[in-house]
Amino acid sequence: MRPMEIHHVQDDSAPKEALAFDVSGAKPRLQFQMATKRLGPGWEFFIAHQVAVDGTVRAWTTVDDWWNRADLFLSNEPCQILPEISAAMLRDAPKSMEPIDWLPFFAQQLKGANVLESGRWWLMGSSKHRGRFERINGFPYPQVLTIDQYTGDWIETEAFGEVLPLRRFGPDDGGRVKWWRKVCKAQQLPPIVLMYFGGLESYFIVDGHDRLHACLLEGVRPEFVVLGHVRRQEIQVDPEHRQKVEAAIVKQWEMGKVTPASVDSVNRVLINLYQSGFSVPTSRGYPIRDGVSGWMSGLERASEHYAEEAQDEVFELARWLRGLL
């Protein structure tokens, strides 16, 4: 199997201070998988997703008809995707909690992890103080759930920007959590690494479950580094349109209507006139073996170890779904 290769590139459409790179090579260790099934005449499709790491499913999700609510069910298996950050590694790492300071560190971590799909990727520090439904270069702003939600087998989400786990949180007094709480108090906590999944318009934690746990226990707002898979959309440039816009801007300038307050907006318009394309978020979905039936069977097996409430939810879902398949 050919190893994954990462090549850093210059991408003018990437966010400022983000790292852009092209990935090629073998299939990634982390895969988003999906299956759909029309449930009968006039019915909407049932959409099933799952996240597999090293061939083992770590999470099962389904979205409602209006795409404004999702159910996430978790595996009880441990999940380590990037190399675990040790105390020795932390001594040589940035002495900062700012996401952009950590981009080179995590770019290096990714090189040997083989978790990225082939194509163009951005590694970004998340912006601060954004509204609930605002986007950052096409990506939703990460939204943290409550600590109670992260400790359960089953999570109900709004399917927009949520930071979703690939395993349940452990005990509050776990060794790694206690250590990260000390690092958090020293204001040297590395950001949590997220990967965007377009099927839910949300994020899965690639690295940092225990760090997020520590932040929530300390009451500290977590910082994030976001991995986004993007694809290029080309734009057909219309020279006549470009000339008209430029002439209009010159006229506004001559009339004194281009002010210091509006100059940034004018500059953005001019820059966009000369762009040949732009990048949009994307996600590749691999097929689930045996489709929706295989998805349901895997979830039922995992639910044997769930708490009673989550088991009941899976039982009702399976009974309803099998009655329609």
Kindly report, residue by residue over 49-81, the tens digit of the pLDDT: 999 999 999 999 998 766 678 899 998 788 889
Q: How far is CA 135 from CA 91, 151, 205, 206, 231, in A?
A: 34, 28, 19, 20, 17
Residue recorded with tokens 């801007």:
249
What residues have CB less than 8 Å from 101, skipping those under 6 apart?
A: 94
What are the structure tokens assigned to 310, written together? Answer: 């989550």
Residue recorded with tokens 């983000």:
18
Distance CA 45, CA 48 (A): 10
Q: Decide: 45 and 39 in contact? Cβ < 8 Å.
A: yes
What are the structure tokens assigned to 26, written together? Answer: 């073998």
One DSSP character per residue, 71-138 reads: EEEE-SS----SPPPPHHHHHTS-S---HHHHHHHHHHHHHTT--PPSEEEEEEEPPSS--TT-EETT
Angle at which helix 239-254 crosses helix 263-273, to 10 degrees, equals 160
Q: Decide: 190 and 93 in contact? Cβ < 8 Å.
A: yes
Beta-ladder partners of 276 = none
Phi, psi of 127 (to 5 degrees): -75, 160
Q: Decide: 22 and 279 in contact? Cβ < 8 Å.
A: no
Predicted local confidence at residue 33, as pLDDT: 96
Predicted local confidence at residue 276, as pLDDT: 66
Predicted local confidence at residue 92, as pLDDT: 85
Domain boundaries of the chain, sorted by first residue: 5-232+281-322, 239-274
Regions of the chain short of the pLDDT cut 50: none
Predicted local confidence at residue 131, as pLDDT: 54
What number of other Cβ atoms are within 10 A of residue 179's Cβ? 14
Q: How far is CA 97 from CA 94, 147, 222, 223, in A?
A: 8, 21, 9, 7
